[in-house]
Amino acid sequence: MRAAEHGRSREEEAREILRRAIGGVIAPTNLGQAIHARFAAIGGVELELPARGPMREPPSFS
């Protein structure tokens, strides 16, 4: 009924509803920048990296 009231197909009406729901939200173009922006407000995050050891021997299939 809503689509008919606006003179659109049901699919186009659904798309318009979704466009309005997300409003001005713009997806980040760079994942690294998005992650940085997420944690910048709390001063960043420092991760403790575990010490690296030697690689193990590959399995033998013989």
Task: Tell me the pLDDT tens digit for each residue of 16-42.
Answer: 998 888 886 666 678 888 888 888 888
Q: Write down the pTM of the prediction.
A: 0.38
The pLDDT score that the predictor gives to residue 35 is: 83
The pLDDT score that the predictor gives to residue 28 is: 63
Contact 3, 9 (CB under 8 A): yes
Map tokens 């991760």 to a residue. 47
Confidence of residue 46 (pLDDT cuts 50, 70, 90): confident
Q: How far apart are CA 34 and CA 29, in angstroms?
A: 8
